Amino acid sequence: MICITVSNPRALVIFCMLFLAPLVCTSEEEIELPELAAILKDSVVVLEVDRGVHGSGIGTGFFISSNGIIATNAHVVESARRILARTHDDTQIDILTVLAVDHKNDLALVQAAPGQYSPLRIGESSAVRTGEEIVILGNPLGLDFTLSSGIVSAVRGANALNGAGPEVPHLQITAPISFGSSGSPVLTLSGAVVGVVISGYVAAQNLNFAIPSERLMELQAASADSPEEKELSSGISLLPLAISAVFFAVLGFIYFRFLREPKGVST
């Protein structure tokens, strides 16, 4: 055993700060917000959802694998006939299938068309502490790729608002969100995803909620074990066109057969 005798206590403190502290420090390096925004924009997409007769909608998604798996909310892809992902440089990507849906935690995974994508790193939401700074990159009110920041206000259990809020354990956050932010990643300043935005409480200010990233990892694992794919249309559906054609054909038959006055010969 080697013993070191230090006569100067101040020198010992400096030695520990310089050489021992880096060995026990486990926190990840934080990234400046402008740099973080530049990194995130390659991994976050706008989701434009066509629901047919049920209308359309927008949301946010983000890549969690290099082969094109995108995470978002279940309510974003609900009743979808076609989904189009749009990147920050306006590249449009067809979403081929809905891979998995977790209605209880309002999460969904969809598969983009083949390509090479930049996934975000999934962090451990169980390590998140109240007061920790976070950022969100999403599409509030269609304002594409908006970066907002805030803190984790609390780590809450289910039904913290007696039915008015999420019915599952969740993160309460102050980063501003709006319609279109659903499915946005909630990230630490080191760029790790610790949650997925699900909703906000409109009767209050900056009272917003996110599902912990552990639930997302569980859904991804379950999807890999037993996928439940739902194929989406990759273009214009022929069914509405066929229905319209039949309708107008019947209308034309009725008009020419029963309603149009016959042309006679004048005398």
Given the residues 106, 148, 199, 223, select the one marked as catalytic: 106
Annotation marks residue 182 as catalytic: yes
Given the residues 50, 75, 170, 213, select the one marked as catalytic: 75
- 5, 127, 118: which is closest to 67 by C-alpha? 118
> What secondary structure does DSSP assign to the chain, as a single string?
------S-HHHHHHHIIIIIHHHH--PPPP--HHHHHHHHTTTEEEEEEE-GGG-EEEEEEEE-STT-EEEE-HHHHTT-SEEEEE-TT--EEEEEEEEEEETTTTEEEEEESSS---PPEE--GGG--TT-EEEEEE-GGG-TTEEEEEEEEEEE-TTTTTTSS-SS-EEEE-S---TT-TTPEEEETTSEEEEEEEEE-TTSSS-EEEEEHHHHHHHHHHHHHS---EE--SS--HHHHHHHHHHHHHHHHHIIIIISPPP----
Given the residues 43, 181, 182, 184, select the one marked as catalytic: 182
Query: What does residue 91 show for φ and ψ, rounded to 5 degrees?
Result: -70, 130
Burial of 39 (0-12, 13-18, 19+ CB in 10 A): middle
Residues 263 and 246: their CA atoms lie apart, in Å, by: 27
Annotation marks residue 75 as catalytic: yes
Please give the positions annotated as active site.
75, 106, 182
